[in-house]
Amino acid sequence: MKTPILLNASEAEVIRALRKTRNVSRTDIAEITGWSKAKTSQAVNSLVEKGYLVDVEEGASQGGRKPRILRFNRDMGYIMGVDLGATSIDIALADIDGNVLQRICEPADVRNKPEDVLGRCCTLINELVQLQGCQVAEVLGIGVGVSGPVDFHRGVLVAPPLMPHWENFDIRSFFQQTLPNAYVIVDNDVNVMALGEQRYGDAIGLDHFLFVKIGTGIGSGIISNGKIHRGANGCAGDIGHICVDKQGPICHCGNRGCLEAMAAGPAIVQNALEAVKHGESPFMRHIMEINDDILTPEQVSAACREGDEAALRIIRNSGQMIGDVLAGLVNFFNPSQIFIGGGISNFGNHLLVSIRRAVLHRSLPLATTHLQINFSKTGSDAGIRGVIALALEYLFVDEDKPYLTV
Ligand SMILES: [Zn+2]
């Protein structure tokens, strides 16, 4: 199995500084690390000689001299990102700075066998490589996001409710066959979205925040002290199975009244169908009549926008339940921000207002004084940007602490 690039402690420190602040000079590195000029030069020169960094002239001329800055060497190769949603595949080829160069999205059903879904991913990877005019051997790392609990150290899904065929399937080895020089890293889709928000969205510079995905399921990614908090086994943040009603409907995990079973997309549709059955929503009944008796979460959302009372009540209830659970998390974890993403986040302000109200009502005043709860503006791109960031994060590791990212 391909491993990340190992660096000594000083080299790792330089890479860390470079990741935090773009466009740094040698003088900046010396300031950030507190090292002497000689020590800084030695570490930087070593990275330049190995071909990982380049020292380039850039920016406006100052007194006749252009400042020289350090950046990653784009000739090193490429990064691949694969974001597997419940109903779609999103794949992108990026440069070493994380800029997306080629991207393909297409519908897919991840409940199919992993060989079929990942086989299709590998075909698309080859297409992207061809489009870019490069070689698969030039891809140095691939980040993969999947829906379900991931054992991060082994890179496998464990008891994934949505994808039962994927239990313990070796995703890394599968991709390694197509990308022989790439380090493969697999993580849960919401962790990846949190990372995408932190690297490219509104969470740049935030060290303590939650990313909550509300769609077919509900999950959260936790960024603590600037890093993803995965917990002892990798399933930290799986808030969809927190019980909100012991008498509630049976969840696909086997327990009763989980948040996901009560408030996610399928529950919203189920509640809307009940409302239609009881004659509470002529608007949604009409939508069903012109759509072969089918009702989708998007249509409930549309009914909401039209001011349909039943749809509004259902969305507000969902928001309240999600907010009640988040209130507990706010007291426990004290984040500075909560970002909401996923398909159901398109429900707009009614959902957001209910979530905010419940959190403010039930959380400690100190925890909510500066707390912000907003929809993620990175939205549908958070996943793909996140898997690329994940692959970049693990491209280099400190040889003394290989389990930690640089
Ligand atoms: Zn459950």
Whether residue 254 lies inside any domain: the answer is yes
CA 272 to centroid of ligand 1, rounded, Å: 21
Which of 119-133, 178-192, 340-354 is least confident? 340-354
Position 326 confidence tier, pLDDT thresholds 50, 70, 90: very high
Q: Which of 26, 50, 75 is the last residue of a domain?
A: 75
In this predicted structure, the answer to whether residue 404 has a pLDDT above a threshold of 60 is no
The type of residue at 69 is I
Q: What is the pLDDT of residues 261-309, one digit of tens each?
A: 999 999 999 999 999 999 999 999 999 999 899 999 889 999 998 999 9
Q: Are residues 224 and 324 in the same domain?
A: yes
Q: Are residues 191 and 65 in the same domain?
A: no
The rounded percent of the chain whose pLDDT value lies above 70 is 97
Average pLDDT over the chain, rounded to whole? 91
- Give pLDDT, residue 269: 95
Whether residue 334 lies inside any domain: the answer is yes
CA 262 to centroid of ligand 1, rounded, Å: 10
CA 289 to centroid of ligand 1, rounded, Å: 32
CA 286 to centroid of ligand 1, rounded, Å: 32
CA 362 to centroid of ligand 1, rounded, Å: 23
Q: Are residues 158 and 98 in the same domain?
A: yes
Whether residue 201 lies inside any domain: the answer is no
Q: What is the pLDDT of residues 95-140, one digit of tens each?
A: 998 999 999 999 999 889 999 999 999 999 999 999 999 999 999 9
Q: What is the Cα–Cα distance from 78 to 100, expressed in whole angstroms?
A: 10
CA 242 to centroid of ligand 1, rounded, Å: 7
Q: Are residues 221 and 355 in the same domain?
A: yes
Helices (H), ranges, 71-188: 114-132, 171-178
- Give pLDDT, residue 59: 65
CA 130 to centroid of ligand 1, rounded, Å: 43
Query: What DSSP string runs through 95-114?
Result: -TT--EEEEEEEE--TTS-H
Q: Which of 75, 103, 137 is the last residue of a domain?
A: 75
Q: Which residues contact 39 (CB under 8 A, 6 or more apart)?
A: 10
CA 266 to centroid of ligand 1, rounded, Å: 13
Specify the higher pLDDT residue, 398 or 317. 317
CA 220 to centroid of ligand 1, rounded, Å: 14
Q: What is the Cα–Cα distance from 283 to 304, expressed in whole angstroms?
A: 10
Q: Are residues 15 and 71 in the same domain?
A: yes
Phi/psi at 110 (5° precision): -75, -5
Q: Are strands 78-84 and 88-94 parallel, antiparallel or unpaired?
A: antiparallel
Q: Which of 57, 75, 93 is the last residue of a domain?
A: 75
Whether residue 403 lies inside any domain: the answer is no
Q: Are residues 362 and 224 in the same domain?
A: yes
What CATH number corresponds to the domain at position 43?
1.10.10.10
Q: Are residues 210 and 224 in the same domain?
A: yes
- Give pLDDT, residue 406: 52
CA 322 to centroid of ligand 1, rounded, Å: 14
- Give pLDDT, residue 161: 81
Whether residue 406 lies inside any domain: the answer is no
Q: Are residues 37 and 91 in the same domain?
A: no
In this predicted structure, the answer to whether residue 372 has a pLDDT above a threshold of 60 is yes
CA 240 to centroid of ligand 1, rounded, Å: 6
- Give pLDDT, residue 60: 55
Whether residue 274 lies inside any domain: the answer is yes
Q: What is the Cα–Cα distance from 326 to 170, expressed in whole angstroms?
A: 34
Position 230 confidence tier, pLDDT thresholds 50, 70, 90: very high
CA 392 to centroid of ligand 1, rounded, Å: 33
Q: What is the Cα–Cα distance from 356 to 362, expressed in whole angstroms?
A: 10
CA 251 to centroid of ligand 1, rounded, Å: 5
CA 149 to centroid of ligand 1, rounded, Å: 13
CA 113 to centroid of ligand 1, rounded, Å: 23
Q: Are residues 83 and 178 in the same domain?
A: yes
The rounded percent of the chain whose pLDDT value lies above 90 is 71
Whole-number Cα distances in Å, 217 to 58, 143, 322: 47, 22, 12
Q: How many domains does the chain have?
A: 3
Q: Are residues 315 and 283 in the same domain?
A: yes
Please state the rounded mean pLDDT for residues 243-263: 94
Question: pTM of the predicted model, to two decimals?
Answer: 0.89
CA 253 to centroid of ligand 1, rounded, Å: 4
CA 18 to centroid of ligand 1, rounded, Å: 42
Q: Are residues 280 and 242 in the same domain?
A: yes
In this predicted structure, the answer to whether residue 1 has a pLDDT above a threshold of 80 is no
CA 177 to centroid of ligand 1, rounded, Å: 35
Residue from 259, 268, 269 nearest 219 by CA: 259
Whether residue 405 lies inside any domain: the answer is no
Residue from 269, 274, 326, 261 nearest 295 by CA: 269
CA 343 to centroid of ligand 1, rounded, Å: 19
CA 273 to centroid of ligand 1, rounded, Å: 22
In this structure, the number of other CB atoms found within 10 A of the CB of residue 158 comes to 15
What CATH number corresponds to the domain at position 88?
3.30.420.40
CA 104 to centroid of ligand 1, rounded, Å: 32
Q: Are residues 264 and 210 in the same domain?
A: yes
CA 218 to centroid of ligand 1, rounded, Å: 10
CA 225 to centroid of ligand 1, rounded, Å: 29
Range of the domain at 176: 77-196+382-398
- Give pLDDT, residue 63: 60
Distance between the two ends of the chain, CA-based, in angstroms? 20
Q: What is the Cα–Cα distance from 85 to 95, expressed in whole angstroms?
A: 23
Residue with tokens 């849960």: 188
Whether residue 291 lies inside any domain: the answer is yes
**Kind and range of the H or E element at 376?**
none
